[in-house]
Amino acid sequence: MRFVALSNPRVILAAALLGAGAILATHFAAAQSTPPATADAQTIAAGKYLVAAGDCVACHTAPGGAPFAGGTVINTPFGKLLGPNLTPDQDTGIGGWSDDQFVQAVKYGYGHNVGHLYPGLPYIYFNKVPVADILKIRAYLNSLAPVHNQIVADQLPFPFDIRALMIGWNLLYFPDTGDYRPDPSQSAEWNRGAYLVQGLGHCAACHTPKNAFGGDKTGQEFAGYIVDGANAPALVDSTANGLGAWSVDDIATYLSTGHNRYADAGGPMASVITHSTSQLTSADDHAIATYLKSLPGNGAAPPAPVAPNDPQMIAGMHIYSDECSACHMTGGTGEPNIIPALKASPVVAATVPDTMTHVVLYGARSVGTDAAPVASAMPAFRGVLNDQQVADVLTYVRNSWGNAAPAVTPDQISAQR
């Protein structure tokens, strides 16, 4: 989960909520110390698949480090967290944890050795995962080679290092609805997709806007957010700001390969594709796509496009012709599965142009997967184009070929340099 900064009055309010929450009963009675059960090969394989569905490697494998041995830096406006060691090392990993303690951490956000956990572990979504599936995950992690790697996960400054504050946060933003409940009015495929998206996939962690306390904004599920300076686009069925132009098959192909006729995954989503969705069965990727395509749009009307005779549009058109059209084509269609299209892209037309600005300034590389091993590279233009030129070409791209988005200013470009 990503967070936004708190102001001091809100910290005071959180402290007050702490006092209220302290008198309430919680799920966190002392866990039994029963040792983990021995698992068979089938259970371990099932756990490996669920670990991929949860993209656990993203936060628990440091660059160049042993898989799941922890150390990944998770930057938040509150401070820094480190992904803990999930290997079965007795001293520095989870080898000394009982199954009950593991379930409490994953499903309820409570660590037996530290108390309340921070929602960098997305337990508010993992809460929907049945205990049986969580134990399969534990079985797979137990099968890994133990790695002795001491991680001090909590790097937050005062007052955010006071874990008891999470009592108040949980009262507000952790409803503990329990296991995912299938909707009998929907198909089995839809329900499978809903379970993966709402639970293990924890897609809302990046694609739902956050309020001042870092909780999901009510009524804005999957409406898009800015994560680590990148656009996590809306996932709703809206042509204005979501996946309205994408079919179910478009979404499933993107999840399976990292590419489709509209987009090529890069940035944080490239990691999700590589380690998670491309490792799922085609049936599960299609189920996720079926569920996402059912999410209603928020009724937002697309903004009026910037007029073609606007000076920025004219200047941007010339820059695009000289620098971009050879790869992205004059009609912004790109080359399917190799060069990303710029038309009908929710990232291109996002309200805030952060991702596109970063790509133009610093370049990018699309994901390569087993299903689509060819990756494309975008060169950096920060030494070629000045702030005004970058703003002009982005304004042109964001308002051509049916796209419509606010004009980009040189100040927005300067802020990302």
- Asked if residue 407 is part of any domain, the answer here is yes
Nearest 5 degrees, angle CA 137-CA 142-CA 145? 130
Profile the chain (417 residues) by mean pLDDT over runs of 10 residues: 36 38 41 59 96 95 92 79 91 94 94 84 95 97 94 77 85 90 97 97 93 87 82 82 88 92 82 94 98 84 89 96 93 83 84 87 73 68 95 96 92 89
Q: Please tell me the pTM assigned to this model.
A: 0.79
- Segment 53-93, tens digit of pLDDT: 999 999 999 989 999 998 888 777 777 888 899 999 999 99
Determine if the peptide bond prior to 159 is cis (ω within 30°).
yes
Task: Look at residues 362, 346, 364, 359 and name the one whose alpha carbon lies nearest to residue 405.
Answer: 346
Domain range enclosing 394: 311-416
Task: Look at residues 307, 324, 326, 302 and name the one whose alpha carbon lies nearest to residue 245.
Answer: 302
The enclosing domain of 410 has a CATH number of 1.10.760.10
pLDDT (0 to 100) of residue 374: 53
DSSP symbols for 278-313: GGS-HHHHHHHHHHHHHSBP--PPPPPPPPTTSHHH
Task: Look at residues 128, 270, 15, 45 and name the one whose alpha carbon lies nearest to residue 6.
Answer: 15
- Asked if residue 299 is part of any domain, the answer here is no
Answer with the one of 173, 198, 213 that is the final residue of a domain: 173
Answer with the one of 294, 319, 345 that is the final residue of a domain: 294
Q: Across the chain, how many H-helices and E-strands are there? A: 17, 9
The enclosing domain of 285 has a CATH number of 1.10.760
Tell me: do 33 and 60 sit in the same domain. Answer: yes
Task: Look at residues 319, 338, 339 and name the one whose alpha carbon lies nearest to residue 391.
Answer: 319
Task: Look at residues 359, 365, 316 and name the one whose alpha carbon lies nearest to residue 339.
Answer: 365
- Segment 242-260, tens digit of pLDDT: 888 899 999 999 999 988 8
Tell me: do 343 and 248 sit in the same domain. Answer: no
Tell me: do 193 and 157 sit in the same domain. Answer: no
Contact call for residues 379 and 363 (beta carbons, < 8 A)? yes
Indicate the number of domains in the chain: 3
